[in-house]
Structure 1
Amino acid sequence: MADILQLVLVHYECPICNEYAYPPIRQCKIGHVICSSCFDKIALCPTCRREKSNQRSRLLEELHGDVIFPCKYNQEGCRKFDTGKKMLLHQKICIFETKSCPLNVAKTCYWTGADHNMVPHCFDSHPQMTRRGTYNRFRIEHVKDITDKTEIFTIIQAHERGFKLCRCLYKDGHMSWRVLFVSEFVNKYRFEFRIKFEGDEDVCLKLVPTHEQSKEGNIFEGKGHRILDADIIKNLCESNGGCLEYTVGVIDTKLDRIVNDILTWDV
């Protein structure tokens, strides 16, 4: 059975990236398959050096939904096999996907690995940028002396999950906040970050963790992004000796609801 599967899969293998092609499946004029990602990057077929074709491999496209494929991260440890479309969906959330270090802000860490190894790597290699626990206190000294855009990132491990707390203090004094999941997590609305500030108990933030949509985009934009304006930051610092001090609570809202229900039960 394994030999038959391999005979079928070889027809889907792209000779450039060595990954399996999926619809739309492109080809050269002789019929050699090239995946869509590589097709636009080449001038000639790497197998026969013939020109590319405008025609697609319709037969392979029609069979794609019935052929059993291994996960593209099988070399990293994934043992899942499934039909074409289901495998494409699985690969988007596969915990064995190879990713870069989530704290590689200065482009100086060259670590890559699977989702489940990302948080342990951060604690081993970047201990000054990591915290554990559901409640953590942070302090930014001498905020008024900061004259340039300053980004601060911290990996927080809580409720057996990894989160990336992102803060950015701008020259004009306002501050952006966002929380990202370090790895994929299906129940993405289960957790909340509640941030309370020293100096004014009425100032607080609630952040819902999100997934980073683009590696090239500004993470301090889009869904989940919150802002504290410059006047609020200034007042908080003036009330707290020139420093911005705050407590970050990571709340499992499912457990929070259960506790609240118990407390409101009639005894």
Structure 2
Amino acid sequence: MAPGGSIFKEVLESHLLSSDYETGKAKSEAKSNSTLTKSTSVGLNGKNGTSSKNGVHDLLGCPVCKNLMYPPIHQCPNGHTLCSNCKIEVHNLCPTCHHDLGNIRCLALEKVAESLELPCRYQSLGCNDIFPYYAKLKHEQNCGFRPYNCPYAGSECSVMGDIPTLVAHLKDEHKVDMHDGFTFNHRYVKTNPHEVENATWMLTVFNCYGRYFCLHFEAFQLGTAPVFMAFLRFMGDDNEAKKFSYSLEVGANGRKLIWQGIPRTIRDSHSKVRDSQDGLIIQRNQALYFSGGDKQELKLRITGRIWKED
């Protein structure tokens, strides 16, 4: 675990939403204009920004996935409830009494849920808003306080956390190189550039303008052509990323390639950015030409800078 913060795994709630839910959600969201407040509002147990762990709130927890349930909420003939996703997972058998579930809706519980107001699940990370039950899920999927995925893509790391936590995690767990400053001059060496089946890549983190940026460099197959690619990601949300620009340059022997763009947020996955080709792409033959020598070893020097737009 990285020092300096709590690291946790988290799975966003995902449920199949019926047309009935869309109707209920529209009604509750219409109410939300007058009910959305800061943490000074009273929660379910009368305390600011907190929710009850007992009673009705507990009844809304699915016994299988433990997430809050959203319409359609199903029940068996004995009254045990579960969410629509888990109804499929348990093959239509009640996980509590093993009775056949059929297609019974728990309309009373759905109606009760419509009257509730709950804090955002990311309250501990700084979000102090209170939401009507059916508006809460939509907010949480886009909450600015929700944790970020670790940007160290090569290990398929599942760690999530805030930016300070992830910076410490990258440094201590992944041994990523950390640099201060808005310019960079990096040399990448690969002894066998003809093997790109298993993507080879590097990650470097830069600290400038009080923010953190991830410089990625990797090799992969683009269709049938082997290529090398460098791109920058911003450790923060997209609205902040758009305040910055960056340039990359690679070349030798009087020739060079230049890329200029806007860093992508780490909310966008590593593979999404790579597959969009939003970065400096170097064909293997070009890369080997820039490397010089006998073309048996890749030696690329990539320079660049980051600046803040006015």
TM bin, normalised by shorter chain, reads 0.7 to 0.9
Alignment of 1:72-91 (within 5 A): 72-74=121-123, 79-91=128-140
Aligned residue type for 1:50: H
Match in the other structure for 1:250? 306
Decide which of 67, 70, 76 is 1:19's aligned counterpart: 67
Counterparts of 2:149 and 2:126, CA distance in 1: 17
Counterparts of 2:207 and 2:276, CA distance in 1: 24
Counterparts of 1:62 and 1:186, CA distance in 2: 37
Change beyond 3 A, Cα 1:170–1:194: same
Q: Which moved more, 1:132-141 or 1:208-217?
A: 208-217
Q: TM-score, normalised by structure 1?
A: 0.72
Decide which of 118, 138, 141 is 1:92's aligned counterpart: 141
Residues 251 and 301 of structure 2 are in contact (CA less than 8 Å); yes or no, is this contact kept in structure 1?
Answer: yes
Match in the other structure for 2:76? 28
CA RMSD of aligned residues (A): 3.7
Counterparts of 1:23 and 1:176, CA distance in 2: 45
Secondary structure at the aligned position of 1:54 is classed as coil
Cα displacement (A) at 1:244: 0.7
Match in the other structure for 2:195? 148
Cα shift readout 1:66-90 (whole Å, capped 9, x = no counterpart): 4212323456675543223442233
Q: Give the fraction of aligned pairs with identical amino acids, expressed as a percent.
A: 22
Cα shift readout 1:229-255 (whole Å, capped 9, x = no counterpart): 23432332239x9621112322322x3
Aligned residue type for 2:152: L
Match in the other structure for 1:230? 284
Counterparts of 2:264 and 2:135, CA distance in 1: 24
Structure 2 stretches lacking a partner, 5+ long: 1-42
Counterparts of 1:223 and 1:65, CA distance in 2: 44
Q: Which has the higher contact order (CA 8 A, sep 6+)?
A: 2
Residues 173 and 234 of structure 1 are in contact (CA less than 8 Å); yes or no, is this contact kept in structure 2?
Answer: no
Q: Does 1:2 align with 2:27?
A: no
Cα displacement (A) at 1:3: 3.6
Aligned residue type for 1:228: I
Structure 1 stretches lacking a partner, 5+ long: 256-267
Change beyond 3 A, Cα 1:33–1:167: farther
Counterparts of 2:287 and 2:132, CA distance in 1: 53
Q: Does 1:46 align with 2:95?
A: yes
Decide which of 67, 83, 91 is 2:116's aligned counterpart: 67
Residues 175 and 230 of structure 1 are in contact (CA less than 8 Å); yes or no, is this contact kept in structure 2?
Answer: yes
Q: TM-score, normalised by structure 2?
A: 0.64
Decide which of 137, 140, 152 is 2:185's aligned counterpart: 137
Cα displacement (A) at 1:61: 4.2
Change beyond 3 A, Cα 1:69–1:36: farther
Decide which of 191, 206, 223 is 2:244's aligned counterpart: 191
Count of paired positions: 251
Q: Does 1:164 align with 2:224?
A: no
Counterparts of 1:25 and 1:127, CA distance in 2: 46
Aligned residue type for 1:244: L
Counterparts of 2:167 and 2:192, CA distance in 1: 33
Counterparts of 1:30 and 1:128, CA distance in 2: 55
